[in-house]
Structure formats: structure tokens, C-alpha cells
Amino acid sequence: MKIFFSILLTAILTNNYILSKFLGICPFLGVSKKLNTAVGMSAAVIFVMLLSSAVTYPLNTFLDKHDLGYLQTIVFILVIAALVQLVEIVLKKYIPALYASLGIYLPLITTNCAVLGVTILNIDNGYSFSHAMINSLGAGLGFMVAMVMFAGVRSRLESCQVPKFLQGLPITLVAASLTSLSFLGFTGLVENMFA
């Protein structure tokens, strides 16, 4: 039980996928302008991360068994792309309410490196299936925490006077740097908590 919490908290706080692993920066900068789009995008990411980890993990075992480990990258990205399409179609047909809130973000997630990243890291870290699922959940939640926090920061930024040469993306990146700095404060937290 302890290890579950340790993995979960590590993925959310100390090794936040956006702020310390730099995975999924594009949506982080692109979709974080408003709180509700940030939440919608993150919810879709959590959903797809869990789903694709659940599918790619057994697939990788299969590949390894047949000595096809070198196909990992191709298989993973194709599975994720196909899965996202499938989910989109299924949602559209059967759960239109959910589709209305998550649907528009789904196609954007195919090329989100956080999703492919989490599936590959699950394998690289040698997690068991349950640990991999917990890690994916943590990664998704961490994504959401970072997105929501940053949406708040950005809304404050809108009303600020920014020097002309920093306007737009540069000041956003500097703000991201400060947000990420605050997450550095969690370093060592998880190790000590479960020591």
C-alpha cells in the first residue's frame, strides 16, 4: 500500500510530468489560458493515459515474449492514436454528454508526448501492471494540477504590465519557470514521508 502512495505522490508532486519532466509542454502553454479548458484538457489526458497504459502494458509483454521489443515505439504510438480515435467514436455515439465536454480535446492528445511518455516510462521503470496504472493516474493528476495552477497564474498575468520585449510567450515561459520552481520545494518529500 505504501508503495502505491509513494508512486502516486512522486508522479503528482516531485516528478510532475509537465514541470519537471517537460512532457506535454504544448498543451501546457496552449490550452492553459482559461480554467475550464485547462480542466477539460486535463480530464481528457487522465482518461487517455489510463486507457493507453492499460492497453500498452500487456502489449509490451507480448512483444517482449516474441523478441519484438524493437517495435515498441511504433506499436505504442499507433495503439495510442487508434485508441484515441476509437474512444472519440464510442463517446460520440453512446455518451454524447461526455463527448461534448472531452471530445474536442481528444484528437489533440494523440501527439501529446506526455501520453506516449508515460507508457514508455512505465516499461522503462520496470513497474508491475498495478504500479503502472497508479503511475499513469498520478501523471494525469499531476498534469491537471500543473494546468490548473498555471491557468490561475496566467489569468493574473493578463492584467499585468509586461515590458514589450517579454510580452506573449517569453513572459509565459518565465511564469512557468516560477511555477516549476515552487514544485522544486517538494523534492525529497516523498522519500522522507515513506522512509
Q: How far apart are CA 149 and CA 35, in angstroms?
A: 9
Q: For other proteins, what does the binding mask look like between residues 125 and 164, x meaning CB under 8 A?
A: ----------------------------------------
Q: How far apart are CA 176 and CA 164, in angstroms?
A: 18
Q: Does 29 bind other proteins (CB under 8 A)?
A: yes
Q: Does 3 bind other proteins (CB under 8 A)?
A: no
Coil, helix or strand at residue 163: coil
Q: How far apart are CA 157 and CA 144, in angstroms?
A: 20
Alpha-carbon Rg of the chain, whole angstroms? Answer: 18
Q: Does 33 bind other proteins (CB under 8 A)?
A: yes
Tell the smallest beta-carbon distance from residue 180 to other proteins (Å).
Answer: 4
Q: Which is nearer to other proteins, 2 or 36 (CB)?
A: 36
Q: How far apart are CA 24 and CA 16, in angstroms?
A: 11
> Which 169-188 residues touch other proteins, going by CB under 8 A?
169-174, 176-178, 180-181, 183-184
Q: Which is nearer to other proteins, 36 or 192 (CB)?
A: 36
Q: How far apart are CA 195 and CA 60, in angstroms?
A: 32
Which residues have C-beta within 8 Å of that of residue 151, sequence separation ≥ 6?
32, 33, 34, 35, 38
Q: Does 111 bind other proteins (CB under 8 A)?
A: yes
Residues that bind other proteins (CB under 8 A): 19-26, 29-31, 33-34, 37, 70-74, 77-78, 81, 104-105, 107-108, 110-113, 116-117, 120-121, 124, 165-174, 176-178, 180-181, 183-184
